[in-house]
Amino acid sequence: MISSSDEQNLDVPATGLGYVRHREEIVREIDRLRLVLASGADLTRQVPTCPDWTLDDLVRHTGGAVRWATHLVRERAQENIPEETVPGAAGPAGSTVEALDAWLAQTAAELADALGGAGPDTPVWTWGWERTAGFWARRMTHELVVHRADATLAAGLPFEVRPEVAADALDEWLEIVHFIQRSEQAERAPELSGSGRSLLLRATDAPDGLDAHWLITFEDDGFRWRRGSGSATVELSGPLTDVLLAFYRRRPLDDGRVTVTGDRALLDLWLDVATFG
């Protein structure tokens, strides 16, 4: 395991929407999750992208994670606080849409308040490469984006996310995988190394001004990534939202929404190994 001081020096590109925007997106994402529940979704339905969970389980997991992060930020925690000890993290007593909706609304308000009382550089324990409230603002934004996708797809509804939020989610996921590999927290991390191979993500519908290309290069000591195009061993392309969902293993590669060109085995390896974080 690398030390806290080493974590700050990892070769990770500085990206992000910013603290205020992340705080706003958390509230928006929870509101959108509440709309999925209000659509008449069956809470007992199994979630195809998280097959061990029902929709009720998924919502409780997601809201519980947000409440855990809220508690860490509010307490300015300098060490981990187990989620099971956080008040209200398990969700409401009743498994009804009304009970979950009220709980989610309160969850959003409490995290927005906690983040508003802190700043992006406020010291807070995290499991990642930054020990700040800003880390949790960003992490919870994308925790909500991906699990809202799980809920939306389970309910049979179309999933949409703003392009700049989807791009930031891809940046953050690559940073997580990079951190886990460099901090030696995953047994199979060495498989994401070896010079001469590369992976390109390319969005085909990015708006003007948004660079929606991600080039991942495999090197002897691990992998590097950057925003930008280039030749690659394998390319995953398609609409930005679908590229995000495929890269998070929420969208099958063969459903016609994305295109894989080149060495499919390398992409399959990445998706198989990079499931930690």
* Digit-coded pLDDT (tens) for 86-102: 999 999 998 999 999 99
Which pLDDT score, from 0 to 100, does residue 192 have?
A: 79
Q: Output the pTM of the full model.
A: 0.91
Average pLDDT over residues 240-259: 96
Question: Which CA distances in Å does 34 have to 40, 108, 211?
Answer: 11, 11, 31
Average pLDDT over residues 251-266: 96
Which pLDDT score, from 0 to 100, does residue 254 have?
A: 95
Under the banding of pLDDT at 50, 70 and 90, the label for residue 12 is very low
Complete domains list, the chain, with CATH: 12-160 (1.20.120.450), 165-273 (3.30.1050.10)
Long-range contacts of 74-82 (CB under 8 A, 24+ apart): 74/114, 74/117, 76/118, 76/122, 76/123, 76/124, 77/124, 77/125, 78/123, 78/124, 78/125, 79/125, 80/125, 80/127, 81/125
Which pLDDT score, from 0 to 100, does residue 194 have?
A: 80
User: Tens digits of per-residue pLDDT, 167-221?
Assistant: 999 999 999 998 888 776 566 667 777 878 999 999 999 999 999 999 999 988 8
Which pLDDT score, from 0 to 100, does residue 108 have?
A: 96
Which pLDDT score, from 0 to 100, does residue 186 have?
A: 61
212 - beta bridge partners?
none
Which pLDDT score, from 0 to 100, does residue 38 have?
A: 96
Instruction: Indicate whether 75 pLDDT > 60.
Output: yes
Which pLDDT score, from 0 to 100, does residue 97 have?
A: 96
Centroid of chain to Cα 165: 11
Higher pLDDT, 116 or 180: 116
Which pLDDT score, from 0 to 100, does residue 185 have?
A: 59
Which pLDDT score, from 0 to 100, does residue 1 have?
A: 25
Average pLDDT over residues 129-147: 97
Q: Are strands 197-203 and 234-238 parallel, antiparallel or unpaired?
A: parallel
Q: Which two tokens stand for residue 48?
A: 């195809």
CB 217 within 8 A of CB 225: yes
CA pair distance 182, 223, nearest whole angstrom? 9
Which pLDDT score, from 0 to 100, does residue 187 have?
A: 66
Instruction: Indicate whether 273 pLDDT > 70.
Output: yes
